[in-house]
Amino acid sequence: MKLSELKLFDAAEAFKDDEAIRHYLSLAFEGGDPREIQRALGAVARARGMSALARASGIAREALYRALSDTGNPEFATILKVVSALGLHLTLTTHPDANEAATA
């Protein structure tokens, strides 16, 4: 088999249920890397259907594609709207290293 015959992996195909989506996004947010969060939201948006998510979030489909693309730079408001449209919300917890940072 040639490399060109292999199907490229698309994370969006892995998200068949809400729990898998919630877990994946939780891991992305816990990691704290803005680009990874953006990529995770983009993969989930593709899995759910960009048009449906655009309608649910009130963001134009084209703007949503741009914001969640590899070159996008979504505003925090956009991220909150997308998370909400997915039926989720963000919560804050104490960082495991918070005590060390406070005493340093």
Task: Give a yes or no: residue 10 inside a domain.
Answer: no
Long-range contacts, 85-91 (Cβ 8 Å, 24+) = 85/53, 85/56, 85/57, 86/21, 86/25, 86/44, 86/48, 86/53, 87/18, 88/22, 88/25, 90/29
- Is residue 14 pLDDT above 90, yes or no? no
Q: How many domains does the chain have?
A: 1
Q: What is the pLDDT of residue 9?
A: 66
What's the whole-number mean pLDDT along residues 33-47?
93
What is the DSSP code (8-state) at residue 2? Answer: -
CATH code at position 42: 1.10.260.40
Q: How confident is the model at residue 3 (pLDDT cuts 50, 70, 90)?
A: low
For the entire predicted model, the pTM comes to 0.79
Task: Give a yes or no: residue 5 inside a domain.
Answer: no
Phi, psi (deg, nearest 5) at residue 68: -100, 5
Q: What is the pLDDT of residue 13?
A: 72
Task: Give a yes or no: residue 31 inside a domain.
Answer: yes
Q: Which residues contact 81 (CB under 8 A, 6 or more apart)?
A: 57, 58, 59
Task: Give a yes or no: residue 46 inside a domain.
Answer: yes
- More confident of the two residues 94 and 79: 79
Task: Give a yes or no: residue 11 inside a domain.
Answer: no
Q: What is the pLDDT of residue 15?
A: 78
Query: Domain range for residue 83?
Result: 16-103
